[in-house]
A and B are shown apart, each in its own frame.
Chain A
Amino acid sequence: MASDCIATSTGPRPKDALAAYLSDLAAQLHGPRRRREAIFTELRDGLEQATEDRIATGLAPDQAAAAAISQFGSPGAVADAFAGELTTAYARRTIAWFIATGPLVGIWWLLLLHPGPWRTGLIALVAAIPVIPLIIAAIATAGGTLATTGRLIRWLPETGPRRALAATIAIAMLCMIIDLTMITMVMASGVPTGPLMMIAVAASLIRIVCSITSVRHANLMRVDDPD
């Protein structure tokens, strides 16, 4: 077996060198856990293959491991090279979460504050739920960012990692403003406390916490992003 070949024929030194390199690399990759794990597994396979190829050409195992590590570059350089893809993956995942959970929060507010049946149309809806323009802005930003960081980049100009992260922060901030506005509005309006109101407020409070967490993570990734 390939990995056994490294373990048995080369002794502990090259294996330790590869393990130390990979451990250093793993510590420097930042982003969604599954993506980091996939990148790590892929690079480990490549590094082990590169070592085996050099052993096959007659190099001593420790020299083969050193040469493979040298070819791959320093862990910091490799991690930096992946920073853009990991940042984009984080932005896409977070934005998709906001899109998926938006209706789960919004439905309760709509049920609580929907205009009377005799008042129809967008104006009546905006009068009842004044944050609708902000919701539209958040959806447009989310849709645009997802479109220009995914498959549509074949036709549309690609949004870079830094902009995708800025869009993620903007969407999280908009959600916070929307939720705080709705909670403040319903508290000030004197709407009688009922199960529907409790659920709507709880859903918004949960999303506020998630939004704050997203902004914190995004700011940490922005520091790491070399672009």
Chain B
Amino acid sequence: MRPELLKGHLDALLLAVLEPGPQHGYAVIESLRSGSGGALDLPTGTVYPALHRLERAGLIASDWQTVGGRRRRAYHLTPAGQIALSEQRALWDKFSTAVTALLKRRTWPATA
């Protein structure tokens, strides 16, 4: 799937991936890929800067840890991020219901 198709939805996807618990950047990329059945294989240049932007907006926060001798930055949701995710979910439900209703194959009533 092309990254530009995700425009406007990437933030919500990243927040959703971080909802179960803290993850580092590469693990976020892998979670997006595995969680979408391989459809969302997003490049590094898309995911990492988006995480930084979400942190700047205060929707996620990060901590540096040392894992196996390496310094690792782990991101987690903030309370504001949790609220934003709930709002995004509600919006997506509404949007997807409307789009699905329109795109579903069916016979449209003939107009006069």
Enumerate chain A interface residues (CB-CB to B < 8 A): 1-4, 38-39, 41-50, 53, 71-73, 77-78, 80-82, 84-85, 88, 149-151, 153-154
Contacts and interface: CB of A to CB of B under 8 A. Distances in A.
B24 A45 contact: yes
A73 B44 contact: yes
B59 interface: yes
Nearest to A80: B45
Interface size class of B (residues with CB under 8 A): 20 to 34
B45 A42 contact: no
B11 to A, nearest CB: 10
B9 interface: no
A151 B70 contact: no
B45 A154 contact: no
A78 B25 CA distance: 14
Interface in B1-58: 24-27, 29-30, 43-46, 48-49, 52-53, 56-58
Contact of A46 (B44, B49, B52, B59): B44
Contact of A153 (B24, B27, B57): B57
Contacts of A78: 44-45
A88 B56 contact: yes
A77 B45 CA distance: 7
A1 B69 contact: yes
Given A2-B69, A88-B56, A149-B56, A49 B48 contact: no
B98 to A, nearest CB: 25
B68 A3 contact: yes
Contacts of A151: 56-58
A1 B44 contact: no
Contacts of A149: 56
Contacts of B25: 42-43, 45-46
Contacts of A153: 56-57
A24 B73 CA distance: 21
A81 B48 CA distance: 9
B26 A46 contact: yes
5 contacts: A2-B69, A38-B73, A80-B45, A150-B56, A154-B58
